[in-house]
Amino acid sequence: MPAPEDDVKLEYGRVAWYGVPMERLRTGTATSRLLRRVPWRRRPSPIVIGGCARSGTTLLLSILSSHPQIAAIPVETQTLCPTAYWGDFDPLAPFQIDVLQQHLEQLDLPDSCRYWCEKTPRNILFFERILQEFGRHARLIHVVRDGRDVVCSRHPDAPQRFWVSPARWIADVRAGVALDPHPQVLTVRYEDLVTRFAETIAGLSQFLNLDLVPEVMAYPEHAQVNASNAWYDKARPLDPSRINRWKADALRGRASELVAAPGATALLEYFHYL
């Protein structure tokens, strides 16, 4: 069965995750194996970013890469969301910790590094397990964007078509909402990141217990991740004109498809998009 799009059954604080009893999920196994050649007191903690595709996950990774105490992996490793993209979806597929280790070793982490950061959109489907795996030091960030703009967005790899289906936006966002109450999970709206940058970054810094440094506020000048196949151009100053593009006459029909899909209106209202 492919990764579920019509319905995500993850429910925070409940007895099952994708129908899997919570007692079957391993807890806290990755930290002891990851970065094993780094002295314990200097081992950075994980920041894991997830969210529906075309929602700004790459943008947030790039912004965080400006912080001198965050080492950002510049590619989507897919190591923490196994089977989410290829093959039969398996909620208990083992994480590829050894592959993640290789990516981290390529970063040559400085002594001052407090966090490493990995971004793959469909991490959002595995947030519950990621928390179980990495324990209390992990910080997870769910990036959400108005679904009408998401389903109207085109990817540089396939500019001839819309990249995200309404069903996928609903499923991915619903998975993030399920973890909303968790103290180690922060939801960031793309629109707030773009239009209220200083305030949003201040809240993000507080969540990560990091100083609000000038390097981040000067984004994208200090970004270490400044290019991606998800972007048409290299990192550039934030552009509010990317918000509400769905209102163009040529896109209203596509946006209406999302609004008409079961469950979409409730999620749009939940994030104050309606």
| Residue 55 backbone dihedrals phi, psi, to 5 degrees | -110, -5
pLDDT at 35: 59
Sign, CA dihedral 210-117-26-125, equals: positive
For the stretch 24-53, what's the b/e string if a residue is b when 16 or more beta carbons lie within 10 angstroms of its beta carbon? Answer: eeeeeebbeebbeeeeeeebbbbbbbbbbb
pLDDT in 10s for each residue of the chain, 274 residues: 333 333 333 333 333 344 444 444 444 556 556 655 554 445 799 999 999 999 999 999 999 999 999 999 999 999 999 999 988 989 889 999 999 999 998 987 878 899 999 999 999 999 999 999 999 999 999 999 999 999 999 998 889 999 999 999 999 999 999 999 899 999 999 999 999 999 999 999 999 999 999 999 999 999 999 999 888 889 999 999 999 999 999 999 999 999 999 999 999 999 999 9
**Would you kindly state where each structural domain of the chain is located, as residue ranges?**
16-270
d(CA 65, CA 116): 9
Query: Is omega for the bond preceding 220 within 30 degrees of 0, making it cis?
Result: yes
3-state secondary structure at position 54: coil
Read off the pTM: 0.88
pLDDT at 231: 83
Q: CA end-to-end span of the chain, whole Å?
A: 33
| Residue 16 backbone dihedrals phi, psi, to 5 degrees | -140, 155
**Which numeric CATH code is attached to 16-270?**
3.40.50.300
Instruction: Name the residue among 118, 134, 95, 97 with its Cα closest to residue 49.
Output: 118
